[in-house]
C-alpha cells in the first residue's frame, strides 16, 4: 500500500509480519506495510524514518556536538528483537510508530524471559527463545545475538549519544513496547552525561528515570544525592542543574546566541533599526565608517593602488570628513604622506564595508554598489549600522586589529554571549577586572588561559579588553571609565552599557529561565 501524503511535521507509523510503520503528526497519519523477506524490509523501513541531525551545545566546549536523531544500530536492534520475539500464533503485526519525539516499536506476546532490567543492569543470558528456528536464522545473518547483550548495548549506545535511554512498557497484556526517544528531555541530564562520561551506568539509568518523572528507590535516591546528581524533594526530584556557569542560560540558549546569524529572522540577536541617526553617530567607528562610505559614494569610483588599497588622493580627501582636528594632527604628525594603512580606522572601515557588501572592487576601482547607495541616507542609518556592525563582529577577524601571538578565536565566536551578559552585569559601572568571570563562557576562559600560559604580561582580562571591550566602546555599546587621563596610556578601569545599547540591541531567546537584558 503506498504511503499517504503527509506534512513534514507529521508522525509516521510502520508494521511488520507483516511489519507496519505509522507516521503520526498532529491530527494526520501516514502508514506503510512491510513483508518478508525481513532482511531487506527492515532496511527499507529504516529509510522511511525521519532521521535528521541536530546540535547539542556542551557547557565546556565552543563547538557543538552534531548528532543524528536516531542511531541506526539501536533502531535496527529493537526492530530485530520485535521480529525474533513476536508471538506469531496471535496473527499480529510488529508495529513501528514514529512521532515527532520518538519511535515506538511493539510486538505481540509477553516479554519472554525475565524483565528488561535483568538485561540492562545485570548480565542475564536467556535460556531459550520463543521462536528458536527464527532466532537461529537471525543469528546466522548477524541480525541478533543469542547472549542477551543486545538490550544492554541499546542502552549503552543511547548513553554515548547523551540521549534518554530506551523505555520498555509491559503494561498492556500480551504486548511488549519499547520507545526510543529522538530528542533531549532534560538538558541537565544531557549536560551531565557530556561532563561525566565515566559516570557509573547504574547512576545513568537512575537519572534517566528521574528526568522522565519515574519513581526510584530510596536507596538509589540517597546515592544520587550523595553524588550531587539530583536536587529537590519528592515528588519534585530533578537532575541537578548545571547552568550557573553560563549566566543562567541553558545550553540551547547559548547555542542560539553563538550560532544564529545576527539580525536574521529567528536569530537571537536583533536590531532596532529605527534608532535616530543622531544617536547612532555617538558610536565613533560607525560615524567614521559612514563618512568614508559617503565620501566614496560621492567620488563615484576610486582607483585602487597596486596593493589594492585606497589611493593617497582619496585618503587625503576622506580624512577630514572622518576625523576631528586633534586626530588629524596626530595622523599628520607621524606621517608626512598618508596611505590607507597608516590610518587603522580608515583601513578597517574599508575592509569591513567590503565584507558587508557596501564597497566593491571592480576593474581596479573601488565604489559603492548602486543598490547600496540608499543606505547612506539619514532615514536608513539604522539599517547601515546593522549591516556594518554584523560584518565587523561576525565576518571581520578582530585578531587583525590586535596583532599579538594569540588567536583566542573563542572571544569573537562567542561575542554575542558577551554582549548579552554585559547587558545583565554592566547596567551600572562594572570593574573590568571582574569581566572575564561575568561575560565569558567557561570554555572561552579555558581557551585563553591555555594560550597565554607562560606569558607574564598577558591576562584574560587584558586580552578580553583589547580584543572585544574596546571595540564595543568604539561601537557605542559601552562607555569606559579610565584610571587616569593620559593621551597615550589610559588603563580601562570600568565599563557600563550605554543608552544606545539599550535602544539598539534586542535578544530573542527561547524561554528557559533566561535573564532579561536590553
Taking the C-alpha atoms of residue 134 and residue 226, their distance in angstroms, rounded to an integer, is 47
Return the DSSP state at 393: I
On the CB side of 223, CA atoms within 13 Å amount to 13
CB 360 within 8 A of CB 354: yes
Query: How would you write the pLDDT of the chain (518 residues) with one tens digit per residue?
Result: 333 333 344 445 444 446 666 666 655 577 788 877 777 788 888 888 999 998 887 766 667 889 999 999 999 999 998 988 889 888 888 899 999 899 999 999 988 888 888 888 888 888 778 888 888 888 888 888 666 688 899 999 999 999 999 999 999 888 999 999 999 998 889 988 888 888 899 999 999 999 999 988 899 999 999 888 888 888 889 888 765 467 778 778 888 899 899 999 999 999 999 999 999 999 999 999 999 999 999 999 999 999 999 999 999 999 999 999 999 999 998 888 999 999 999 999 999 999 999 999 999 999 999 999 999 999 999 999 999 999 999 999 999 987 777 788 899 999 999 999 999 999 999 999 999 999 998 889 888 998 888 888 899 999 999 999 999 999 999 999 998 755 566 789 999 999 999 999 999 987 654 443 44
Assigned fold of 400-507? Arc Repressor Mutant, subunit A (1.10.10)
Residue-level pLDDT at 251: 77
Taking the C-alpha atoms of residue 151 and residue 115, their distance in angstroms, rounded to an integer, is 11
* Common-topology check for domains 12-181 and 400-507: no
Residue-level pLDDT at 16: 46
Q: pLDDT tens across 268-285, in order?
A: 999 999 999 999 999 999
Residue-level pLDDT at 453: 87
**Could you give the angle at the alpha carbon of 258 between the alpha carbons of 254 and 263, nearest 5°?**
115
Q: What is the CATH number of domain 12-181?
A: 3.30.565.60
Count Cβ neighbours within 10 Å for each residue of 6-45 and write b for 16 or more, e otherwise: beeebbbbbbbbbbbbbbbbeeebbbbbbeeebeebbeeb
Q: Cell match 589594492: residue? A: 308
CB 258 within 8 A of CB 413: yes
Reported residue count of the chain is: 518
Q: Where are the domains of the chain?
A: 12-181, 198-242, 277-395, 400-507
Q: Which residues pair with 13 in a beta bridge?
A: 22, 31
Is the sign of the CA dihedral 138, 144, 146, 151 positive or negative?
Answer: negative
Give Cα separations from 187 to 90, 240, 243, 334 (angstroms): 41, 10, 10, 56
Taking the C-alpha atoms of residue 456 and residue 452, their distance in angstroms, rounded to an integer, is 9
Q: Indicate the helix (H) or strand (E) that contains 463.
A: helix 460-464
pTM exceeds 0.85: no
Grid coordinates belonging to 144: 541478533
Q: Indicate the helix (H) or strand (E) that contains 29.
A: strand 28-34
Taking the C-alpha atoms of residue 283 and residue 62, their distance in angstroms, rounded to an integer, is 30
- Name the CA dihedral angle for 437, 438, 440, 443, rounded to a multiple of 10 degrees: 50
Taking the C-alpha atoms of residue 237 and residue 220, their distance in angstroms, rounded to an integer, is 12
Is the sign of the CA dihedral 281, 282, 283, 289 positive or negative?
Answer: positive
Residue-level pLDDT at 30: 73
Residue-level pLDDT at 518: 41
401: left (phi over 0), alpha (psi -120 to 50) or beta: alpha
Amino acid at each position: 500500500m503506498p504511503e499517504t501524503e503527509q506534512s513534514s511535521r507529521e508522525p509516521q507509523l510502520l508494521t511488520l509480519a507483516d511489519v507496519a510503520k505509522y507516521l503520526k503528526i498532529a491530527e494526520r497519519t501516514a502508514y506503510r506495510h512491510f513483508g518478508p523477506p525481513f532482511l531487506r524490509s527492515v532496511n527499507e523501513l529504516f529509510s522511511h524514518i525521519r532521521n535528521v541531525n541536530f546540535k547539542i551545545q556542551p557547557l565546556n566546549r565552543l563547538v557543538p556536538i552534531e548528532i543524528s536523531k536516531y542511531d541506526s544500530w539501536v533502531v535496527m536492534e529493537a526492530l530485530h528483537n520485535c521480529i525474533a520475539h513476536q508471538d506469531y500464533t496471535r496473527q499480529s503485526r510488529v508495529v513501528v510508530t514514529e512521532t515527532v519525539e520518538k519511535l515506538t516499536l511493539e510486538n505481540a506476546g509477553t516479554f519472554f524471559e525475565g524483565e528488561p532490567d535483568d538485561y540492562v543492569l545485570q548480565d542475564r543470558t536467556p535460556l531459550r527463545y520463543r521462536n528458536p528456528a527464527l532466532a537461529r536464522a537471525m543469528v546466522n545473518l548477524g541480525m541478533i545475538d543469542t547472549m542477551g547483550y543486545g538490550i544492554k548495548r541499546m542502552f549503552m549506545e543511547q548513553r554515548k549519544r547523551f540521549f534518554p535511554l530506551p523505555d520498555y512498557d509491559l503494561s498492556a497484556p500480551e504486548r511488549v513496547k519499547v520507545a526510543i526517544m529522538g530528542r533531549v528531555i532534560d538538558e541537565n541530564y544531557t549536560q551531565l552525561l557530556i561532563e561525566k562520561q565515566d559516570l557509573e551506568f547504574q547512576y545513568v539509568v537512575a537519572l534517566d528515570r528521574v528526568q522522565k518523572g519515574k519513581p526510584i528507590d530510596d536507596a538509589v535516591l540517597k546515592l544520587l544525592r550523595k553524588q550531587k546528581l539530583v536536587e529537590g524533594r519528592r515528588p519534585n526530584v530533578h537532575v541537578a542543574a548545571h547552568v550557573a556557569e553560563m549566566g543562567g542560560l541553558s545550553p540551547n540558549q547559548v547555542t542560539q546566541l553563538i550560532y544564529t546569524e545576527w539580525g536574521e529572522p529567528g536569530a537571537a540577536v536583533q536590531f532596532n533599526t529605527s534608532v535616530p541617526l543622531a544617536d547612532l553617530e555617538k558610536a565613533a567607528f560607525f560615524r567614521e565608517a559612514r563618512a568614508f562610505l559617503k565620501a566614496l559614494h560621492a567620488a563615484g569610483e576610486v582607483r585602487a593602488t597596486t596593493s589594492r588599497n585606497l589611493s593617497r588622493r582619496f585618503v587625503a580627501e576622506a580624512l577630514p570628513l572622518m576625523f576631528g582636528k586633534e586626530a588629524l594632527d596626530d595622523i599628520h604628525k607621524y606621517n608626512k604622506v598618508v596611505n590607507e594603512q597608516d590610518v587603522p580606522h580608515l583601513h578597517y572601515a574599508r575592509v569591513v564595508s567590503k565584507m558587508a557588501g557596501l564597497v566593491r572592487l571592480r576593474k581596479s576601482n573601488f565604489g559603492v554598489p548602486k543598490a547600496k547607495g540608499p543606505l547612506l541616507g539619514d532615514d536608513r542609518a539604522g539599517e547601515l549600522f546593522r549591516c556594518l556592525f554584523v560584518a565587523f563582529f561576525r565576518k571581520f577577524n578582530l585578531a587583525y586589529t590586535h596583532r599579538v601571538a594569540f588567536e583566542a578565536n573563542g572571544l569573537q565566536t562567542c561575542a554575542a554571549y558577551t554582549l548579552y551578559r554585559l547587558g545583565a552585569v554592566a547596567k551600572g559601572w562594572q570593574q573590568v577586572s571582574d569581566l572575564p568571570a561575568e561575560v565569558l563562557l567557561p570554555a572561552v576562559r579555558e581557551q585563553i588561559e591555555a594560550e597565554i600560559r607562560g606569558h607574564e604580561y598577558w591576562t584574560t582580562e587584558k586580552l578580553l579588553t583589547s580584543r572585544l571591550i574596546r571595540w564595543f566602546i568604539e561601537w557605542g555599546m559601552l562607555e569606559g571609565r579610565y584610571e587616569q587621563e593620559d593621551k597615550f596610556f589610559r588603563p580601562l578601569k570600568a565599563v557600563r552599557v550605554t543608552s544606545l545599547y539599550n535602544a539598539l540591541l534586542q535578544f530573542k531567546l527561547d524561554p528557559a529561565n533566561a535573564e532579561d537584558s536590553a
